[in-house]
Structure 1
Amino acid sequence: MTELREEAREQLEEHVGIARSCALTGVSRASLYRRRCPGRQTVEKASRPSPPNRLSPEECEHVIATLNRAEFVDKSPRQVWAALLDRGVYLASPSTMYRLLRERGQVRERRAQTRHEAKKKPQLTARAPNEVWSWDITRLRGPGPGRFFDLYVMIDIYSRCVVHWEVHARESGELAKQFIENAIWTNGGIAPETIHSDRGTAMTSKSVTDLLSDLGIIKSHSRPKISNDNPYSEAQFKTLKYCPAFPEAFGSLQDARAFCRRFFDYYNHEHYHSGIGLHTPFTVHIGTAHVIQQKRAETIEQFRAANPHRFTRRPSLPKIPTAAWINQPDQADSDQPRLDQQEGVA
């Protein structure tokens, strides 16, 4: 039967060609070619030559040793890259740092988020500091079973700067009212245009509602049970509780306040935030981040000019966003909450 198909194929080949004749008779083209060229060998692809700008083994080990230093071991490679630039040091690009860590099994993904049904989305946009503030309350475990402290945190969504924080033994509308007044006083008496929060009892209390009305501040609330509507506060709390030094429980109210004082001082002044171009929240809040951005560009350019072989193209810095938003306006018609809107807010 095989011989008959081959004879028929040979007769058809003269008229319709190899591909069509094989299709009509059911003969494999690959088998046909192998029979016609029995000595043909598969040519192995030439190995890719090493690029001229590749780091030497010594340079790779130096990068890894720097990333694993005590001051950098808990930071992402992009944050380390930004910190080194501010010191006038350039070792490698963030992607190279990630690649070297990945080769050694030192990177992993930890982020996990929850999805909720959407109803009616609040839509807020800030293009400068003090336009939109977001606040929330989270619980800190205290001494003994069932003992908790309440941490109040106010954050500017544009600069990601924690404007004010307080730790109390309970949650109440009166404490929330005093907290907002203290936040405005701490911010030099400058009040925001809008304050956003979820629908907790303290946030929706009459004392808070009356205060915002008296101050002429627009009140905004999340949809019920939709944490995505308050992404900046939620992500900031996650940053707090993923801190390596965050304890399982606090021994007293004073211990909780002492820890938060250290953490928020670090967060505002030392934390290189991925959502604001790897600058610290305080520099964005007071408007000095653009000067720092220019100095970073000069540092990279000086290194590039001295070591042109290290670059295949001109490197670029992460941009400082021109706006921050809660539920991006062009997504107004979507009923599904988006987790990607929170990317980089922590």
Structure 2
Amino acid sequence: MLRLVGVLESTYYARKQREKGKEKSALRSGKAGRPIPAYSLTKDGQKVSDEQIEEWLSELVEGEEHGYGYRNLAHALYIQHGLILNHKKAYRLCKKLGLLQKKPDKKVKYPRRLAQNRVVTGPNQLWQMDIKYGYIHGYDRFFFIFDMIDVFDRCVVGYHLGASCSAKEICATVKQALKERIQPGEPLPILRTDNGPQFLSHAFAEMCTDEDAPLIHERIPPKTPNMNAYIESFHSILERDVYSKMYFETFEEAYESVTEYIQFYNERRFHGSLKRMSPNQYHAAWRAGLLEEAEISL
């Protein structure tokens, strides 16, 4: 048949091989493949979410490791946190955060402020905020809580729970807390955060520089969690009382448990630093003028 149509055997079989290769390639591309895990492991087997790794990377480049490439950043995370991060994932995360090459000098719309020593004498003067993650065993996934605490009365003034924690979601949570917590005419609180990527984002900067309600945003220096001690303390309590005692099968179980605990914490949990009152009770007593003047230096 090939001789009748004038086609060489080598040409025919070479074409058949190319077509077979294309079919295999199409089959491979049609499969979902193994999903990329959203975490890495430490040398002792602990899972660390990609969001936490991104925060660590951002803190490194804000500090003395600012000149490191992605391989050295990965090694620094191994030294500091025992994190096993291969070079491919380190490259991917650094590329996502824009850390692969030197960035031009930023022209920010508002001054970059480092956290200062302050004396807090009442509520809504200083809010500390941070992000913490928990683990869903049933899905092998992480969930996130972004929350804010008032340094004076220890109230958790707002929080967001979700499978993600973007800058947009954080901004919406802050705006809602300001709306519910701040009375018309009252000064706005200072917002204190670490150097997580959400707090370095354009969205967060735009919220703080809003002409109608500008906010002062200060960031603690890298590797100084003690300057954000109140929100870190609440997260340690949340870890002890909820995360370490619960085995979450679903996201709904986790959200319900955390929501119930925050309600208990604000309304009924006695606090030794608040004269054995709950944060909401202490806040109400201060509003009613039933408390002596107090100062918190930090």
> Does the residue aligned with 2:200 lie in a helix, a strand or coil?
coil
1:200 to 1:245, Cα distance in 2 relative to 1, 3 A: closer
Partners of 2:159 and 2:115 in 1: CA distance: 27
Whichever residue aligns with residue 192 of structure 1, its letter is L
2:188 aligned partner: 192
Q: Among 151, 169, 173, which residue is 1:179 paired with? A: 173
Partners of 2:254 and 2:287 in 1: CA distance: 31
Partners of 1:239 and 1:261 in 2: CA distance: 14
1:7 aligned partner: none
Whichever residue aligns with residue 124 of structure 2, its letter is N
Whichever residue aligns with residue 193 of structure 1, its letter is P
1:156 aligned partner: 150
2:95 aligned partner: none
Whichever residue aligns with residue 168 of structure 2, its letter is E
Partners of 1:208 and 1:216 in 2: CA distance: 12
Q: How does 1:205-284 map to 2 (within 5 A)?
A: 205-214=201-210, 215-243=213-241, 246-284=244-282
Contact conserved, 1:197 with 1:222, CA < 8 A, in 2? yes
Contact conserved, 1:199 with 1:221, CA < 8 A, in 2? yes
> Does the residue aligned with 1:141 lie in a helix, a strand or coil?
strand
Partners of 2:287 and 2:214 in 1: CA distance: 30
Q: How does 1:47-126 map to 2 (within 5 A)?
A: 122-126=116-120
Which is strand-richer, 1 or 2?
Answer: 2
Whichever residue aligns with residue 193 of structure 2, its letter is S
Partners of 1:189 and 1:256 in 2: CA distance: 32
* 1:325 Cα deviation after fit: 3.4
Per-residue CA deviation, residues 173-214 of structure 1 (Å, 9 max, x unaligned), is 111111111211232566733011111111221111110121
> Does the residue aligned with 1:243 lie in a helix, a strand or coil?
helix
Whichever residue aligns with residue 211 of structure 1, its letter is M
What percent identity do the matched residue pairs reach?
21
Tell me whether 1:140 sits opposite 2:134 in the alignment. yes
1:142 to 1:231, Cα distance in 2 relative to 1, 3 A: same
Contact conserved, 1:151 with 1:167, CA < 8 A, in 2? yes
* 1:255 Cα deviation after fit: 1.4
Contact conserved, 1:143 with 1:250, CA < 8 A, in 2? yes
2:296 aligned partner: 324
> Does the residue aligned with 1:158 lie in a helix, a strand or coil?
coil
> Does the residue aligned with 2:217 lie in a helix, a strand or coil?
strand
2:284 aligned partner: 286
Per-residue CA deviation, residues 283-324 of structure 1 (Å, 9 max, x unaligned), is 22233587777xxxxxxxxxxxxxxxxxxxxxxxxxx77122
TM-score (norm 2): 0.55
> Does the residue aligned with 1:155 lie in a helix, a strand or coil?
strand
Contact conserved, 1:123 with 1:325, CA < 8 A, in 2? yes
Contact conserved, 2:242 with 2:258, CA < 8 A, in 1? no
Partners of 1:163 and 1:192 in 2: CA distance: 13
Whichever residue aligns with residue 203 of structure 2, its letter is S
Per-residue CA deviation, residues 116-165 of structure 1 (Å, 9 max, x unaligned), is xxxx7632332111111111110011134751000111110000011112
Unaligned ranges ≥5, structure 1: 1-119, 294-319, 327-346
Runs of 4+ more than 4 Å apart = 188-191, 288-293
Aligned length: 181
Question: Quick one: higher RCO (CA 8 Å, sep 6+), 1 or 2?
Answer: 1
Partners of 2:154 and 2:288 in 1: CA distance: 16
2:200 aligned partner: 204
Partners of 2:227 and 2:157 in 1: CA distance: 20
Unaligned ranges ≥5, structure 2: 1-113
Contact conserved, 2:126 with 2:192, CA < 8 A, in 1? yes
> Does the residue aligned with 2:160 lie in a helix, a strand or coil?
strand
1:35 aligned partner: none
Partners of 1:150 and 1:192 in 2: CA distance: 26
Partners of 2:150 and 2:136 in 1: CA distance: 28
1:206 to 1:241, Cα distance in 2 relative to 1, 3 A: same
Whichever residue aligns with residue 294 of structure 2, its letter is T
